[in-house]
Each structure stands twice: as structure tokens, then as C-alpha cells.
Amino acid sequence: MNRDKLRVLVTGGAGFLGSFLCEKLTSQGHSVICVDNFFTGSKENIAHLYGNPYFEVIRHDVTFPLYVEVDRIYNLACPASPVHYQHDPVQTTKTSVHGAINMLGLAKRLNVRILQASTSEVYGDPAVHPQPESYWGNVNPIGPRACYDEGKRCAETLFFDYHRQHRLPIKVIRIFNTYGPRMHPEDGRVVSNFIMQALRGEPITLFGSGEQTRSFCYVDDLIEGMTRFMEVDERHVGPLNLGNPREFTILELAEAVIRLTGAKSRLVHRPLPTDDPKQRRPDIGQARTLLDWQPAIELEEGLTRTISYFERLLSSGVQMSPAR
């Protein structure tokens, strides 16, 4: 088999991250099967790939088995914003757990490498800062965010058990806050919320004091790290943090969005949501050493690109689907 040209399955391929991954893989000459049930994914995200002979789409829910022949599997399928994953929390858990079982079963049958897109949410509201991969986390298993947090934690367990029990070649990454074009404008994430509120001239909503921190990684940097990790030696299975180690307060983000959009929005404060982490920053020492990777795009440049995307959406009157 020519390892330079692979057949790659991307679940959640019509989502924010998945669409950029499909785009990168096809640009490298790989044949990509994009699988999505379009619960949070959008056909608009992948419309520019429809004419590519190396790209195909299957509408499918990963909680059901899938039978295809591929050389690599990227498992990205799962709602990733609180608005979406809390809309149907039982289905969110099923997507993480049943989806992992089905994709691992497929990888086992084919004996191919599979990557799990896990999340920094496995660390919960961390008592260790910044968060290294060795930290086990501080997660509320019965709270309103648990469907996502614990679903992803269980998926990691399944991946490592398949690796130990069946010697399956796995990769597990933990993705920290990522932003960029193709985010859903109504997904409830802080970057899209602030930009849309600023562009509409609405007040910008800060939950809590605004002093809680996040680390924002631009999507291009994240996808580069993800694809590099997939192709490193099989002995390196993870988990591996991917994110931006530079930390910002939510207030600093709001002020940057107001400045870059030229908005006159005022700041309004609301109570902090249940179990919302107070601080979040990755230790990316392993990624630096193993992949020679670290984010290259500064927050201001990434925000400028993202703002331009949302400005085009608003001016075109395009209604992204779904908008829950």
C-alpha cells in the first residue's frame, strides 16, 4: 500500500474541526470519506469539497455500525459545545461511547490506526494548572456537563483497553479551546458568542467576573498538530494535549473582540454556569518534543480571520443549519 496516499475516514467530518481536517487531507491527495449525521455538522462547511474526486460524504450516525474499507480513522463525531451537547444529553453520551465502540470495532476488523478527538473537558474544573496529560482531572460525573465530559472520558478508556487487549494502534488527543471560521454562530461558545454579539451591536455577555481564563488555539494550528500525531510512530499513543499554552481572561477576549470589530457593545455580567471551569491552559511539552509542534497563529490574527467569516455570514444572510 502506498502510505503517501491513504483512504481516510473522518467521522464528524462536516463539523467545524472535521471540515478543516477533510480539507487538509484531500489537499494532500488522500481519499476522504466524510461521515456525519448533520446534527451539528453543516453541509455548508464541506460544500467546497463536493467536486473533489477524492472526497465523498456518507450521512450516518456513528451510534450504529459502519462498514467501509479505509487505512486511517479520525473519530471526531460528537457535539462539542454546551448548547448542542446539552440539547440531548443521552444522545451525546451515546455518540461518545457507542460511537467509540463502533469505530474501534471497525479499526480492529481492518487493523488500522484510529485517532480519538478527546477534549480538555476530561480535566473538568482543574485543581492542577496548567494541565499535563498525567493529571486525572476534577469532573462532576452527575452535572449538566457530564454527558460530554464523562462520555469523552469513557471513550478514552475504551481506546486504551482496545490498545491493551487487542494491540490496536490508537492515538488519543485532548483538544483545548479551538476557534476559527466555520464555527456555528449560535453554538454558545465564547468566541462565536462575543463576535456575533459585537457584530450585531448587542451587549457582550460575560459569565461571572470575566477573570476566568481560557487558552485559544486557531483551527489551522490544531489540525496540523492532529495530523502530525496520527502519523508519528505507533508506539506514541497519547493522550496528547493540543492547544495554545498562552492564557487569556474572558474579559481580555471580550475587549479584543470589541476593538477588532469596532463595536460599541457594552459588557454585561451573568452568573457563571454550573461546573464551568475557572481556568484552562494546556501543558504542551509532549507535543513540542514529539511533534515539533506549537501554535503559530496569534490570537489577534485568528480573531481577525474569524470575524471576517462571521461578517460574510451576516452580510450574505446565510442561515447556518442546524441552529438550536
At which residue does the C-alpha cell 470575524 appear? Answer: 307
**DSSP labels for 199-261?**
HTTPPEEEETTS--EE--EEHHHHHHHHHHHHHS-TT----EEES----EEHHHHHHHHHHHH
Question: Cα–chain-centroid distance for residue 155?
Answer: 15
Residue with cell 459502519: 66
Which set of grid coordinates corresponds to residue 71? 487505512
Q: How far apart are CA 184 and CA 144, in angstroms?
A: 21
Residue count (the chain):
324
Which of the residues 123, 148, 162, 218 is marked catalytic?
A: 148
* 179 among known catalytic residues: no
- The CA distance from 285 to 66, in Å, is 36
Please give the Cα distance from 253 to 300 (Å, whole number). 10
**What's 138's DSSP letter?**
B
What positions carry a catalytic annotation?
148
